[in-house]
Amino acid sequence: MDTAYNYRGFTAHRNLAAVAGELLGSFEISTKVGFFPDGHDIDAERVRAAVQEIPEVLGRLPSAVLLHNPECSVGGFEKACEALAEMRDAGYCRSWGFSTWDPRELAEHRWTIPQPDIVMVRAGLRVPAPALDAAERLTRQVRARRVWGMAPFGGSTEDPLWSTIDTSLFLSSSQKGTAVQAAVSAAFAIPAVEKLCVGTTSATHLAEIVQAESLNVSTRVVERYRALLSRRAERSRTTS
């Protein structure tokens, strides 16, 4: 279960603890810090204070704490990573890392940071080639132990775009699934991620997505798609 310090008007942790109660211990909880009522800030001391507060409000240790969109404050990235690694070692969470919506600027730097347990990046058919390439460069550079994906639909499955794409093309032969399930399966491979964070506002939608985990994706189709995407991005750079 993935949440963040600033979700639901900075009440997500408190609401989750109140609603889930004792059941909360049955879940792995990842959360994010970086947004505060006065804006984005990954100052190391502020990050430490936020991480110290999380287990008190949740009533349990979070499984993971991630820096939330560090590309918004690149200058503080290294110190914030060091602070999160220290907080993990001090027992305030079991793992740490960062979640980036647009990794391109982060990927332009050579960082000296502790090895993150997790890097979360956008995944799926809505992610442009430059962002995909940057995510893969960045995760290699920081030697991320695990890579997670998020936002496989880039917003909502209600977007008209999804009615124009035959997502079943990404499934291996003999695999059958809905358009939503095929898109989710493709997201696990674009780029390669271990886990995928999806919205939970609809129980029916969530159940459909969960069933997609058993589907296999065609490696050949994914490779062809990535090549076509890269060529399109190159043409766009040339014409601009």
196, 187 in Cβ contact below 8 A? yes
Both tokens of 48, joined, read 């430490």
3-state secondary structure of 21: helix
Q: Are 67 and 74 in contact (CB under 8 A)?
A: no
pLDDT (mean) for 5-23? 94
Q: What is the pLDDT of residue 240?
A: 61
30-47: average pLDDT: 97
Q: What integer pLDDT is reported at residue 118 of this predicted model?
A: 98
Name the least confident of 72-76, 230-234, 236-240: 236-240
Q: How large is the average pLDDT for residues 208-237?
A: 88
Reported as a single tens digit per residue, the pLDDT across 67-79 is 999 999 999 999 9
In 3D space, the residue among 28, 93, 104 whose CA is nearest the CA of residue 67 turns out to be 93
Looking at the chain, the whole-number percentage of residues with pLDDT higher than 90 is 77
Share of the chain above pLDDT 70, in %: 99
Answer yes or no: are the C-beta atoms of 222 and 211 closer than 8 Å.
no
Number of H-type helices and E-type strands within the chain: 9, 8
Tell me: the pLDDT tens digits for 187-197? 999 999 999 99
Torsion region of 143: left, alpha or beta (phi above 0 gives left; psi -120 to 50 gives alpha) = left
- pLDDT for 210 beyond 90: no
Query: What is the predicted pLDDT for the residue at 201?
Result: 74
Average pLDDT, the chain: 93
Residue 239 has pLDDT above 80, yes or no: no
On the question of pLDDT at 15 being above 90, the answer is yes
Q: Which of 38-42, 85-89, 118-122, 205-209 has the weakest average pLDDT?
A: 205-209
9 vs 158: CA distance, rounded Å: 25
Q: How confident is the model at residue 88 (pLDDT cuts 50, 70, 90)?
A: very high
Q: What confidence tens digit (pLDDT) does each residue in 125-137 have? A: 999 999 999 999 9
